[in-house]
Each structure stands twice: as C-alpha cells, then as structure tokens.
Structure 1
Amino acid sequence: MSDSRPHVLFINRVYPPNTGATGAILAELAERLISYGWRVTVLAGPAEGEPASTVRNGVAVERVAALAFTRASTLRRALAYASLYPAFLARALRLSRPDVVVSKTDPPLQLVVSALLGRYWNVPAIHWAQDVYPEVAEKLGVLSQNGLLARLLRGVSTWALHRHTRVVTVGRCMQERIAARGYPKQDIRVVPNWPPETVRPIPHSENTFRKEHGLQDRFVVMYSGNMGLAHPFDAVLRSATYLHNQVPRAVLVFVGEGPRKARLQTLTAERGLDNVRFFPYQPFETLAHSLSAADVHLVTMQPSLEGLVVPSKLYGVMAAGRPALFLGPAGSEAARVLRENDCGSVLPTPTGKQLADTLTSWANDDAHRHAAGQRARAAVTDADARAATAFNRTLRTCMRAHHPRHIAS
C-alpha cells in the first residue's frame, strides 16, 4: 500500500546518535513533523555502529559513506566536507522522490546539493540557514577576506541560494544578511532555534552538578558550549581578577571543549586565577543540571559575525531559567531576544572591569536575577512546537505554490 503522506527530505551531516547541535535540533523537528502528517527522510553522514538505512522514532534515516570528520586541521575538515557532497547526491538519487527537499548548513555549501536536487526532481527546495558561508570563514581568518577562493565560493553559494523556493534563517540579523545577497526578503522566513526538550530549571538545592563540584555556596557564572574561534574570552578572563575582590564567592565555570580551551587554561594558570574552573562537556541526560547550576550565563560572539551566526546556546540557558549576559553585537538575534524579554544584559565591547561590574550587580540583586530567569523560561516555553508549526506551514505553502524559479545566470 502506497504512503499518501507528503514527503520531506532533510540533508545534514549529523543526525543522532551523532553528537552535534544541528543534528539534535533536526531530530526534534523531524519527529514533530510526523505528527503533522509528514513522511520524513533524513540523509546524513556516517555514524559509528549505525546501518546505512534505519528508522529512528518514525524518521527514515539514510547514511552515506564519507571521510571521517575531524577538527584536527582545516585541510582534513575541508576534505571530509568535500567527500559528502557527491555522496549525498548519489544516495539521494536512489531514494524515492520527495515533495520538498531541505538542506542545512552542515557542511557549509550543502545548499548546492539541495538546489541541484530540487531542479532534478522539480520540487521546491528550502535552505535552512544556521550559518552564512563563506562569510563566516572569512571573518574567522580561515579564508582570505574577499580572496579568490572566497569570491568563488560566494558566487557558487549565491547561485544556489537563488534556486531555493524559500530560505529559513534562525535570526532577523541573518535574514538581513541573506537579503543582502539579493535573495527576496519576502521569501525568507525567520524561525529561531529552540532549547533541548530535556532542559528545565533545577533548583540549586536539588542540583547534582553544584553538589558534586562543591558549588553550593558559590555565585556561579557559567560559559557552557564550544570554546571556538567565533567566541572571544579576553574580557571574561580579565573580569575574574576584579570579581575576586568584588564578589569573593563568585566563580567562573567553563563547561565544554574547543580549540581555545587549552589557551584559556594556560592563561588561567599563569594569572593564578583560583576562581576559574573548567569541566568537559556534560552528558545530554544531565544537561538540565549543568545549565541550571549557574546563577548567570555568559554567551559570547565576535562582533564581526553579526548576522552570520546566532549562538543557539542562549535558548538552553533560557530554558534552564537563568539570565544571560551577551558579549557581542547589539544587532544580533541573541541581543534582541535578551532585550525584548528583559532576561539579561547586552555588552557589545566590554572590558574586564565593565563585565565584572555587571556581574556584581546581578550577584547583589537576587530578586531581579530570579525574575529575569522566570521571564527567560517563559519566552522559550513551547518554542519547539511554535517552530514545528512554522516549518509545517512553510513546507505546505511551498508545495502548493511551487513553480520553477527562472533566474538569469
């Protein structure tokens, strides 16, 4: 018996049990779309121990063979990415024709694959942009700014972008960046990311992370996530010296990994900062406890990346019912969310002293901090359901109104 449900194909490098934020959020959306009457297939990269074809919580998962992904070097990572594009195309062409194809930005030029498949199948293609490439690589110094390779990749990316029926971005700032590429703004939908469904506020008195690590009586300022090139930490470390005197019970806690972690640990030791501690990534099952262990969270982003990335870790912080201090551009989606919901502070270019002073004010006003945390939690309640509703509407609208987009080359 044939399946009469509309069929959507998602393409992304990672999908559970692979770790990775893009895969986790895709899995939650894919499973929700089934309840909206969709048949969902996900085309993903390899995962250790996983078969080439399987069904996971109602979602058909097809995996391709490719070079192992690594962050050990830029070249090896680029080669791993490059091996995925032809593998995705070849495998997709052996699948049943979907009604809509959706690409994410992992790997970065995935939208080329969805553009080609949309044309081949004559179905609407949607690009779900989590980042904007190659601009991110330029700003981080991975590619020369406006160099030959960057211009070539931008040209290919823009060509593919204009062959999508819709683009979905995770922030209003990113919508503006995409529109600046000449893509019609009216065809760009903003659907913010959402927190993991397991994250909820855990009172300090019941928090296992605080108990296990001797943090019961401390004012915990936490950075949780990737310590990567997109995240500045100079002001954060410098604030530790001032906090030592201003709030003796304060401790800066870094949870996670990333290319900058080793340097941060070295600087912490050299400066004798005994109020800074480091922990590895925490198991997904205990994420609610680790995020709720904080009194205030830090979210950081390089100013030059405004509109190119949106720090999704903010939504987990909000789900844990904690205020956040955003160290980044005032026009970023993260800054807008904090201002609109009055659940944190925005410091575009703070010094160590300015950050310490702001943290001190949060430490000394328990009522304000708790109220801000409650507003944060309320702002993301049912965010996953709202996002699924928006995606369902966008997918069905594209199906109904689809016609080939004719754009002069």
Structure 2
Amino acid sequence: MKILLYDNSGHPFQVQLSRALAMRGYQVLHIYSAAFQTPKGKLVKTNEDPKTFFIKGLKLSSPFKKYSFLKRWIQENQFGKLVVNEIKNYNPDVLIASNVPLDTLKHVQSYCAKNRIRLVFWVQDFYGIAIKNILKKKLSVLGSLIGNYYIRLEANLLNKSDFIVLITHHFIDVLKQMSVKNKKFTVIPNWAPLDELSVVNKKNDWSISNNLEDKFCFMYTGTLGLKHRPELLLNLAVQFQNYPDVIVVVISEGLGADWLSKKKEEYSLKNLLIMNFQPYELLSSIMGSADVLISILEKDA
C-alpha cells in the first residue's frame, strides 16, 4: 500500500507517524510546506530510515504572504495545485491530510475523490471557525459572511472525507455544531516524539554558544502570533530587567517575534533574547538550557 501524508506545517509527530508506517512495510511519501513559518520536525531522511520512506518539502516561487488575506488566498489555491501534482506523480492508495489550509485542501479532496484515493482528514483545528473569529473583528458583517463560507467549506470537506481523525473528544461537539453528518471518525490525541528527545545538562554546547549556561532562563519556543499575546513575554522581561542573572529567551518568527524585537529596543531590554527557529536536532539542548519553559494558553490561540 502507498500512503501520502501531507502535513502542511511539517511538525514533529506527523513525520514520526510517516516513519512508523514505513517501518511497518508501507511505502510512504511525507510532504510539507517548506515556506510555512512554524517549528519543524525531523524532515530530513537519515540512514536509519527505511527504504520505503520518502520526504519532500514544497514551496511556491514567491514568499508565502501569511498576513495578507487576498495574497494568502491566491497562494493557498496555487499550493493546492502544486500538491495535486505530487499526488498525481506518487499515486497513493491513501492520503492523510493534517494542518492543511481549506483552500488548499479543496483541491486535494477533489482530486482524491475523482481518482479513488482514500482521504483521511486529520483535524488539528477548525479553520473555518478561526477564520470567522478573526475576520468579523476586522471586517464586521463582511468578515462574518466570509467566515461562514469557510465553515461550510470545511464541513463539506469533512463530509466528503473517507475517515476523520480528531485530536480531542471536544471536537465531536464541534462536528455536530457544524452539521457534519460523517460518522466515520475516531479520536487520537496528539503526542510528543519523546524517543527523539533526551535529557541533557543545562551546560551544553548550545547554551554555552549563546551565553546562557550561567543564567536563570525563562524560555518560550514555538509559534508566536499577536493572538498569542507576546506582551506577556515582554512583561516578564520587564519584571526581571534589573536581575543580571535572569534572561527571557524567545525562539520564534513572524509578527509576534517582530513585535517583541521592536519593544526590546524601545524598553532597552538586555535580558530579552529573541532568536529564529532553531534546527530540530538541537531541541534537546535548547529545552535543557531552560530553567522554566513557558506555555501561553489563550482561548482564541
């Protein structure tokens, strides 16, 4: 059996699943968006990987415009056609879709339906609801109308899927609210690829190279949009700015990190270190360098 797992984000545990399926004898192609700005997993084939495992990053010729609604809509439709070309070339029996924008997924679903490729919709979030919540704040009635369109599109894609994987039982109620009739679903919570991580000392090559080995380190690493309230990290740095042995480390990219960089200059915060996403193979050393790991939990994030 040939399986194509398309995780647009390129996150760690999805590619771990692809590797596990390949180790069980399936031929697996794992594809992802190389241009999407988010933490990535182990997306390079190694000598230890089975011969039936393949991986490929896709990107458009122009940079991805995440924060421009019109340009993003155009690019996500273009990317859908790019993914369909990969599906045509690989010709899988089953396609698993995770973290895929709806305008991209509609092209994927249409091709799979026409060519008898089984589609598994692995639901990490409900994009239609998120789009409506964002756009109605910016565009009022028009934003709500656009959001309702995407909710209907997502419900249609869910109904046409051959199987649905939800990450929490709470999503079952959302399916009902969206009037999704498809009953072919199961719940599998997300997991962390713990076998790819190890416990390391705070004093390691990464912490030494960044002068963190002797600091008390608060650390946030991951996606950081404005909706994640980066001002919380700013406030933390401000509170400890007169403590020379305390530092706040933020590893991220995009609007939230850019906003923090400007505020760092504005407040002259020497104890706020902002870094780009780091290579996945350094994750154990990065987490080992932290004294406190920060998670920001917001209802809309």
TM-score bracket, shorter-length normalisation: 0.7 to 0.9
1:226 maps to 2:226: no
- Counterpart residue identity of residue 92, structure 1: I
Does the alignment pair 1:261 with 2:270? Answer: no
User: CA separation of 1:210/1:299 partners in 2, compared to 1, >3 Å: closer, same or farther?
Assistant: same
Q: What's the offset of the Cα at 1:161?
A: 0.8
Q: Which runs of 5+ in 2 are unaligned?
A: 36-48
Give the SS at the match of 1:303: coil
* The one of 265, 285, 288 aligned to 1:289: 285
* Matched letter for residue 89 of structure 1: V
8 A Cα contact 1:202 1:292, kept in partner: yes
Question: Retained in 2: the 8 A contact 1:175–1:190?
Answer: no
Name the CA distance, whole Å, in 2 between partners of 1:236 and 1:9.
Answer: 39
Shift of 1:173: 4.3
CA distance in 1 between counterparts of 2:50 and 2:237 reads: 45
Contact 2:112/2:118, CA 8 A, preserved across alignment: yes
1:357-388 deviation line (CA, Å, top 9, x unaligned): xxxxxxxxxxxxxxxxxxxxxxxxxxxxxxxx
SS at structure 1 position matched to 2:214: coil
Q: 1:161 aligns to what?
A: 158
**1-side partners of 2:206 and 2:86: how far apart?**
43
CA pair 262-88 structure 1, distance change in 2 beyond 3 A: closer
> What is the CA–CA distance in structure 2 between the aligned matches of 1:91 and 1:282, rounded to whole Å?
28
Partner of 1:115: 109
Q: Which residue of 2 aligns with 1:21?
A: 10
Q: Name the SS of the counterpart of 2:260 in structure 1.
A: helix
Native 8 Å contact 2:151 2:178 kept in 1: no
> Per-residue displacement from partner, 1:174-197 (whole Å, max 9, x unpaired)?
454344323357723223042475
Match of 1:59 among 49, 53, 78: 53
- Identical-pair percentage: 18
- The one-letter amino acid of 1:270's match is E
Rg (Cα) greater in structure: 1
Deviation at 1:269, TM superposition (A): 2.8
User: SS of the residue aligned with 2:294?
Assistant: strand
C-alpha distance in 2, partners of 1:189/1:243?
A: 42
TM-score by length of structure 2 reads: 0.78
Deviation at 1:91, TM superposition (A): 4.8
8 A Cα contact 2:34 2:58, kept in partner: yes
Map residues 185-224 of structure 1 onto 2, 5 A cutoff. 187-195=185-193, 198-205=196-203, 207-224=204-221
User: CA, structure 1 residues 275+46, in 2 after alignment: closer, same or farther (shift >3 Å)?
Assistant: closer
Q: Deviations over 1:222-281 (max 9, x none)?
A: 011232233112233223333456x76322111222212222122223233333222232
- Indicate conservation of the 8 Å contact 2:33/2:59, yes or no: yes
- SS of the residue 2:96 aligns to: strand
**Does 2:170 match 1:170?**
no
CA distance in 2, matches of 1:42, 1:271: 44
Cα deviation digits, residues 314-342 of structure 1 (max 9, x gap): xxxxxxxxxxxxxxxxxxxxxxxxxxxxx
Shift of 1:31: 1.7
Where does residue 28 of structure 2 map in the other structure? 40
Q: How many residues align?
A: 284
Question: Aligned partners of 2:94 and 2:260: how far apart in 1?
Answer: 45
Q: Which moved more, 1:100-109 or 1:110-119?
A: 110-119
Select which of 246, 251, 254 maps to 1:250: 246
Instruction: Supply the distance in 2 between the matched residues of 1:213 and 1:69 (Cα, whole angstroms).
Output: 29
Note if contact 2:132-2:146 (Cα within 8 Å) is conserved in structure 1.
no
When residues 114 and 126 of structure 1 are mapped into structure 2, their CA distance, relative to the original with a 3 A threshold, is farther
Alignment map for 1:81-92 (pairs within 5 Å): 81-92=76-87
Equivalent in the alignment of 2:5: 10
Which deviates the most, 188-197 or 233-242? Answer: 188-197
Structure 1: runs of 5 or more not aligned: 1-5, 14-19, 48-54, 306-409
